[in-house]
Structure 1
């Protein structure tokens, strides 16, 4: 994604009624949240708003540079990825029961509940989904091995969105 496209996207989102926008491309993540700035922008003068937008634009330019570097790294890493053939019959897909924010660990300074390759038992906590400031533990419904974690930490998840692939034991 080019800087011009990102600037155009920012302008479109700013002129829309959307309060939150999130877009994943490759290993990079673009998130725009106007919900916190709406109340603030109503209180500040036009000059402050334009300087805030300029600061946001500078931040986006920096983020795009990091995205481009990460995309280059990702292309190199993709060449080295080994694929494992898995029968779909052996897999159990854990789906999100609610809309919210995905957390793979109980707190930022703790290890993830599970990692790829971990053995889990029915009832083991796989992750937490925060919805309306409530932390909901998502447990495994089967015994098995975690084959893939399909969501990044702190990503927004939708109802029914696949979170984990578990190979049944």
Structure 2
């Protein structure tokens, strides 16, 4: 089986290394709170219960931005034609849809979750994803000190 990593980048600007995200686990929910500025915070609540939407809510300050989000993915497998003489630059002109390909629905089983913090960001890794001959985990990255943007 090939490894598949899907990265869901929630916040994408350089963060403040001195701010720290906080996490709270309550049964099957994971609550993350992080600084979005000098005096503001954002919160994301993930629901790890089977058959529940993954993202229970995302809020900034007292304003709820979204609730009940359940991401879905499609993996498309095909072949590319890359000429060694081009150094890989012909990838921009590769007519992938003109060649045979197959699309697969990515299945998401919330079987495990792992949190890691490194400097100004926190990574939530949730497994497992699988489609065709690929498998891997979903990664959500939170950068401290940045505005909430999805």
TM-score by length of 2: 0.20
More strand by share: 2
Could you say which structure has the greater relative contact order, defined with CA pairs below 8 angstroms and 6 or more residues apart?
2
TM-score by length of 1: 0.18
